[in-house]
Amino acid sequence: MTSSRVEGAHVVVGLSGGVDSAVAAYLLKEQGYRVSGLFMVNWTEDEAGYCSSAEDFQSARAVAAELDIPLHRVDFSAEYRRRVFDLFLAGYAAGKTPNPDLLCNREVKFQPFREHALRLGADWVATGHYARIDHGAAGPRLLRAVDDNKDQTYFLAAVARAHFERVLFPLGGLSKPEVRAIARDAGLPNHGRKDSTGICFIGEREFRDFLGQYLQPQPGAIEDDSGTVLGQHQGLSFHTLGQRKGLSIGGQRGAREAPWYVVAKDPARNVLIVAQDAEHPRLMTTQITTEPFHWVRRPETLPERLTARIRHRQALQPCAVAALDGTRVSFRFEQAQRAAVPGQYLVLYDGDECLGSGEIVVG
């Protein structure tokens, strides 16, 4: 960050109540920015205390008080319900496994949230994401974090490039232990707070029970890959490719003492197909098709060799563009990929740069 960027600049930081956003605000204030906090409410249906929004807000207030910065609060629960949760449910109803974290960043955090921050007079908007942005003359480039174990570009890869304008990621050059140490040394009140797990509207609960509140059961047969019926499922929507737990088929006569895995879905027959092979041929593929593919930045000439990941924290996998037809892009991988799940995202990289993402439609 240049000194000209800091001098007199107002940064609105998305304060979530967690340690990452707290340290982002602290670092920006230390660098000379005029900092304000903005707490976002996404979910208000807090049955049985699963959503920690109220606790998160109190944590954000304590951080803002410690840093002596103003804290604003904005309710985006209606937008979140319409632009994220409804799409999330529709995806599951269609037999996909959608990723609400990518949808939240695309539809809320870098749209209405960013716009609200700019209306508050922000010159810059910042969050506690582990990622980097290069604000060059040709426009922003999204780069992987220095700490590959914490890199969050996977969740940012569906955001429009224009929405990265005037955005800062102060934690992109740090590791999580370094962030914890900074929070502790700075005396931030939430320095020992545990990282949040999952998404707010699910929290620490049984995922199938949660989905069952919104999706009706559609029982069908569970078959092995030879067509033998092993049991019954309550709906294809409640299962995903590669899944091992929650099949409730137990030991089967004549079968090996080995786990069962979901290897395919047959929507036409409403059948879930399982096998005792974690790398069953139906789970493995060297070509993955995505649609629509969203380019954060599309190079004029695509390199012959790129890398991609089809899930968060997966090691980057060498690949190449196999076919490009409008918004439909297929990729060929050097090594077979396991469980390319429709509804999840393939995220594409050229070195450190995140080029974009596409929803997996064919594995």
| Pair of tokens at residue 132 | 């980097």
Bridge partners (DSSP) of residue 126 are: 13, 168
The Cα 259–Cα 101 span in angstroms is 29
Task: Give catalytic status of residue 104 as yes or no.
Answer: yes
The Cα 24–Cα 129 span in angstroms is 9
Residue-wise over 79-110: b if at least 16 C-beta within 10 A, else e? bbbebbbeebbebbbebbbbbbbbbbbbbbbb
Rounded to 10 degrees, what is the CA torsion of 180, 181, 182, 188? Answer: 70
Helices (H), the chain: 3-6, 19-30, 53-67, 77-80, 86-93, 100-104, 112-119, 153-156, 176-185, 207-212
Q: Looking at 51, 200, 319, 354, which residue is catalytic?
A: 200
Q: Burial, 244: exposed, middle or buried (Cβ in 10 Å; 0-12, 13-18, 19+)?
A: exposed
Name the residue among 73, 72, 90 with its Cα closest to residue 81. 90
Decide if 356 contacts 345 (C-beta within 8 A). Answer: no
The Cα 324–Cα 290 span in angstroms is 10
Name the residue among 216, 214, 217, 220 with its Cα closest to residue 232. 220
Cα of first residue to Cα of last residue in the chain, in angstroms, is 41
Active site residues: 104, 200
